[in-house]
Amino acid sequence: MSTQIRGAEVVMKCLVAEGVSTIFGYPGGAIMPIYDALYDFRDTVTHHLVRHEQGAIHAAQGYARTSKTVGVCFATSGPGATNLITGIADAMIDSTPVVCITGQVASHLLGTDAFQETDVIGISMPVTKWNIQVTRAEDIQPALAKAFYIARSGRPGPVLIDITKDAQFGLTEFEYKPFGEIRSYNPSPKLDVEAVKKAAELLNSAKKPYLLVGQGIILSSAEKALVEFAEKSGIPVASTLLGLGAIPANHPQYVGYLGMHGNYAPNVLTNDCDVLLGVGLRFDDRVTGDTSRYAKQAQIIHIDIDKSELGKIVDTKIAIHADANEALQELTKWIEPKKHDQWIQQFRDLEAIEDEQIIQNVIHPVKNELKMAEVVHKLSEKTDGRAIVVTDVGQHQMVTSRYYKYKESNNNITSGGLGTMGFGLPAAIGAKLGNPDKTTVLIVGDGGFQMTIQELGTILQSKVDVKIIILNNNFLGMVRQWQQLFFEKRYSFTDIVNPDFCAIARGYGLEAVKIDERDQLDGALDDLLNSKGAYLLEIVVEQEENVFPMVATGASVSEIRLS
């Protein structure tokens, strides 16, 4: 005679079967049966109690990115579920695999505006890779198996499962059956070898070939294939924000960071190459600038696992629907060994201009005020570019992406496509738990830090060893920069009066120090990195420091400003 168990226990057994060992969440009425079942799995699964549901989803994102597994979070119905939406949208655009499990009112109350009832399926549909509402206990297991399959396969993304309270209480038999395939869903496209050969022909005949790489390299574990292809082809390589670390920053063919606040050379010379190969990137507006003036002289080859991205933003000569790792390995077979020393020297010449006009002035400043860039530069040197670095969103994010020299992948954890302020602190918690053996440093602005500052409570309770650097300029810095450059210095509500961050941190059990002098910086960073347990370092930086270079909205990438 078979034994029946409650749907809530089915949830936990499914998670264990999928290898889940870490969950971030916040309990409530509609998800209480699942939390009751979780009580009996405490030796197998560690649950981290966040202080707000947004913290749960961002922590799950950070965990997924550093562990290279699926992140998991729990929330209750109504406001609990809706508080996940920002993070779900962030995970969707940044291709982060997370499974969100929300409780829901009993099925007979659906559509009645019951207490804490919200149509989370309708709300989340545009920002999930897949979602489903489960109203029967027997449907929980297949829904969860399908959720994990969809979240991690192909281009990864977030999935939401909304489970009614009666389904959680309902009885059913349990046998875990991993999910196999979905008709019309093709997460592993067959590589078109003939298209790869044509791409190789274009590249072999090019005088100024150029390789742009995005996060798809990291998601497909194509870092080794990328280096092998680059070194055989001799082609210069530039990276998007989320692609940083896909190739080591000190590689002789790496020419810099693309985008609005990226490096001068890789932006300008986009409009000088003759063949442009993009692998695992979306050609989003921060990379292309004005698309009507983007690489019009070049024949473009685009490789991406998401077919919808091919031809969406830029016209392509050759579109290859494929996994980046598989495609690069095949392309390397057909590429001719070459050197493009003169072409790469053009990047180095422009790099020298940027170094003289911008970089040296901000990493070795003469003025008394500390600059964000010198802080990040010193941190990069002290950690040899090998720490996990989490950023929030704003000027500090752009400065970090420019001056932290990533030598390894999966170390750059940031909100790229959505640009979510408040992402940093909870994502750093998840990132550290996802790879506990590596030093994890959060670099955050004074504005974004206060959006999820309550997650210091999660650090306190879960004893998470996160090193926090607040770059405090008492402004919402990125918006202020735009107001200065494009709105005649009309600083409308961007100056911010801050609390005593160190006192707050100490209240949560963290050691905390504040500095505002250059001669304090070296020692303060050493203390931060050598500390046992979580630590907060507040650094007062120049109030009106701007981040350059900069591509203004509507400008061509070749019109990037140095001042």
Active-site annotation, residues: 53, 115-116, 165, 478
CA distances from 352 to 263, 298, 436 (A): 11, 25, 38
Q: How far apart are CA 504 and CA 512, in angstroms?
A: 9
Q: How far apart are CA 258 and CA 419, in angstroms?
A: 16
Is residue 242 within 8 A of residue 266, CB to CB? The reply is no
CA-nearest of 38, 26, 100 to 64 is 100
**b/e per residue 139-156 (b: at least 16 CB within 10 A):** bbbebbbbbbbbbbbbbb
CA-nearest of 437, 363, 360, 447 to 404 is 363
Q: How far apart are CA 218 and CA 324, in angstroms?
A: 9
Give Cβ neighbours of residue 288 (< 8 Å, ≥ 6 apart). Answer: 294, 313, 314, 557
Q: How many CB atoms lie within 10 A of CB 3?
A: 7
Q: Return the SS3 of 176.
A: coil
Give Cβ neighbours of residue 149 (< 8 Å, ≥ 6 apart). Answer: 178, 179, 180, 182
Is residue 545 within 8 A of residue 372, CB to CB? The reply is yes
Q: Which two tokens stand for residue 519?
A: 């001669």
Q: How far apart are CA 365 and CA 557, in angstroms?
A: 27
Query: For residue 232, with 0-12 CB atoms within 10 Å meaning exposed, 13-18 middle and 19 or more buried, which class applies?
Result: middle
Which residues lie across from 6 on neighbouring strands?
171
| Gyration radius from the chain CA atoms | 24
CA distances from 39 to 35, 36, 44 (A): 6, 5, 10
